[in-house]
Amino acid sequence: MTTQTTVDATGPGDGTPAAPSQQPPASGLRGHPWLTLLTVAVGVMMVALDGTIVAIANPAIADDLKATLPEVQWITNAYFLALAVTLITAGKLGDRFGHRQTFLIGVVGFALASGVIGLSGSIPMVITFRVSQGLFGALLMPAALGLLRATFPAEKLNMAIGIWGMVIGASTAGGPILGGFLVEHVSWQSVFYINVPVGVLAVLLGLWILLDHRAENAPRSFDIPGIALLSGAMFCLVWALIKAPEWGWGSGLTWAFLGASVLGFALFALWETKVKEPLIPLGLFRSVALSAGVVLMVLMAIAFMGGLFFVTFYLQNVHGMSPVDAGLHLLPLTGMMIVGSPLAGALITKAGPRIPLAGGMALTALAMYGMSTLDAGSGSGVMSLWFAVLGLGLAPVMVGATEVIVGNAPLELSGVAGGLQQAAMQIGGSLGTAVLGAVMASKVDGDLAGNWTDAGLPPLTGDQLDHASEAVEVGAAPIAEGTPQELAAKITQVAHDTFISGMGLACLVAAGVAAVAVLVAFLTKRGENAAAGAGAAHI
């Protein structure tokens, strides 16, 4: 196992950095590992919650600000695009200037941007500051992992990452519940205002608790061309995935951006072999375990986020649940992640990551298969069973893949490793939504006309069928105003049956992706550098 000298860059309080030490000393509560975990959890919760809570507010924002559907979509896309494109660069900033500083800047910027969105009176202003939220969120997330990596010793790191994963899972799944309550009983602005007091708490805790561990051989310069090439390649990839449903997967524009992304990544890889201090030293990927961890995170996100995307439509549009009720029905998933993540951390510490990761992906595959069997008549008990199995499967993967990536990277690259982990998850989620969305669209387009005719419904023109397909793809029934009740019931039955067949196929594809991930899990191993520079004081 390698060792890594670190520096307490916060110093004794007079602006003088402390001397290098194998385990940086913590004075009083500053640098206390578990309080550090509490502090970063508050900040991470704010960003993770924002990923899903805003979706519930979008209809109210559209109504209040008179926004079009494309404008509303950009409320989500602008945030996601800014976050995904800058995560790795933001991690490098933390490695260079210290994760404490980048974490605090990220928290302050995210909270301020949230407050400004709440005061916004136009959609362009909302979208602009959603970009700001994404940029500051990208600073915050890798810095949180970098702080945990530097603070906890190897025997406690998995447990810490387990709790960190629990916070992310609970916040992500709890977003629709909290968002629905706030929109229904307060206002859409409150969805953003809530980040302000949370951000203030995170900043106060951060100033009081966080100790800035920096590797003695941390990078001293910036790879500006590398940043430009990687950011451009990531932008083209994510942009293509966002726009593919609108442009079509066979569109020249979609393939032009995908091709530009491949070219950008190739040029980036070539440049990184020539620069003295690269943005991402390609030697990182000589670690089969680290590379497998990144691939595993992508595959997990494809299966989880892609599959769950359709489940929300299933609950709300097929079962007719409110957003709050739909969120409550997902509580078994949230609960299993909350319970399972710390337990997974303890298990991985004792047994290593391979078996828990493989078992977790096997459970994820089983859950996605089970979800493929749901229909319009499925009861809450059956749904809860499969959601609970999914949560139980995801917990060890979130914890184990994160530890494999961050733990197998040198301490001076912990920010970059944290950025890789988050970027892999964001790209996997985007791929899952895009690819499984294409599967759903293809199935609906192939089945709807036949199902419509078989039900004896009036024939549709080509344009009418296209509009009907768009509605059915999200579980809605294309019923025109004034349609007789008996005819409306038939249309609803056809729409729901067609949607469920598409969701079933999409979930089966997600199950197949998860099954492939089981094999990838056996390539992982415990982080070789996990103990490097970790401070064991106060544990």
Fold of 287-458+465-528: Growth Hormone; Chain: A; (1.20.1250)
What's 196-240 look like in SS3?
HHHHHHHHHHHHHHCCCEEECCCCCCCCHHHHHHHHHHHHHHHHH
Radius of gyration of the chain (CA): 23
Is 0.85 topped by the overall pTM?
Answer: no
> Rounded to the nearest 5°, which phi and psi values hold at 532?
-65, 120
Residue at token pair 């307490």? 8
Residue at token pair 């290593």? 352
Tens of pLDDT along the chain (539 residues) come to 333 444 445 544 444 444 333 344 445 677 788 888 888 888 888 888 877 777 777 777 877 887 766 677 678 778 877 888 888 888 878 777 788 888 999 999 999 999 999 898 888 898 899 989 989 988 888 888 888 877 887 677 777 877 877 787 777 767 777 877 887 788 888 889 989 999 999 999 989 888 876 656 555 667 788 888 888 888 888 888 878 777 877 888 889 999 999 999 899 888 888 887 777 777 777 888 888 888 998 898 888 877 777 787 888 888 888 767 877 888 888 788 888 888 888 888 888 888 999 999 999 999 999 999 998 888 889 999 999 999 899 888 888 888 788 777 776 676 777 778 878 887 887 788 778 888 888 888 888 888 888 888 888 787 888 888 888 887 888 888 778 888 888 888 988 999 999 999 999 999 999 999 999 999 888 766 544 433 333 34
* Domains 23-213 and 287-458+465-528 belong to one CATH topology: yes
Query: Which CATH class, in words, describes the domain spanning 23-213?
Result: mainly alpha
Residue at token pair 């008179």? 66
Domain layout of the chain by residue ranges: 23-213, 223-278, 287-458+465-528
DSSP string over 505-525? HHHHHHHHHHHHHHHHHTT--
Residues in the chain: 539
